[in-house]
């Protein structure tokens, strides 16, 4: 019995020593460094020759350093780019291209997004994106986002779609194209930490 007690005491002593071991520097977590240098000036690529495109979907995602809005436009790519213009507007509304009607957007600042893709199929005229003028973007839930506050569909007119994106404040953003999509990232802060 004494051997079992001695063996059990040795195991418990070893377990206690292991539990109090101080982690080494390699086990420490490193702070995330966010990209900088994006700025808040207008971004556009309007030199792209017009090609009838259809906006298939709009979706969003919250990242550690930024919030992301993705516009799915099949058939586009960096080699076959989509025309776009993204810029901050004065006030809290985007002016609808078709009528000039202001579309209110909540937030400390508003990004207007105009893309060379319609919410309808240019060949058939059939609706392909279910956005309603003045309403939030369907399927885009911004709950828990740090930067994005609101989205509003402003309509499609003459082959272009217009969207209002409400953000917490005028923050740096970037725009880039991948296969079948245009990506808009808006940073959480102006600094290098999330």
pLDDT at 24: 43
> Residue 166: beta bridge partners?
110, 150
Confidence of residue 17 (pLDDT cuts 50, 70, 90): very low
Question: Residue 10: phi, psi to the nearest 5?
Answer: -65, -40
Cβ pair 56, 129 in contact under 8 A: yes
Burial of 156 (0-12, 13-18, 19+ CB in 10 A): buried
Residue of 155 and 18 predicted with greater confidence: 155
CATH for 43-187 is 2.60.40.3500
pTM of the predicted protein model:
0.82
Domain residues of the chain, as ranges?
43-187
């Amino acid at each position: 019995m004494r051997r079992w007690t001695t063996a059990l005491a040795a195991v418990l002593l070893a377990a206690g020593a292991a539990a109090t071991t101080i982690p080494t520097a390699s086990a420490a977590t490193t702070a995330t460094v966010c990209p900088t240098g994006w700025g808040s000036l207008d971004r556009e690529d309007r030199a792209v020759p017009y090609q009838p495109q259809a906006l298939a979907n709009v979706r969003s995602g919250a990242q550690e350093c930024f919030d992301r809005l993705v516009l799915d436009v099949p058939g586009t790519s960096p080699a076959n780019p989509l025309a776009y213009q993204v810029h901050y507007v004065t006030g809290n509304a985007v002016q609808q291209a078709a009528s000039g009607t202001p579309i209110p957007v909540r937030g400390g600042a508003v990004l207007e997004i105009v893309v060379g893709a319609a919410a309808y199929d240019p060949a058939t005229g059939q609706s392909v994106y279910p956005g309603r003028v003045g309403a939030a973007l369907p399927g885009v839930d911004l709950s828990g986002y740090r930067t994005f506050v609101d989205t509003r569909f402003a309509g499609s007119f003459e082959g272009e779609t217009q969207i209002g994106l409400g953000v917490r404040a005028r923050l740096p953003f970037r725009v880039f194209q991948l296969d079948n999509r245009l990506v808009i990232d808006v940073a959480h802060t102006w600094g290098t930490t999330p």
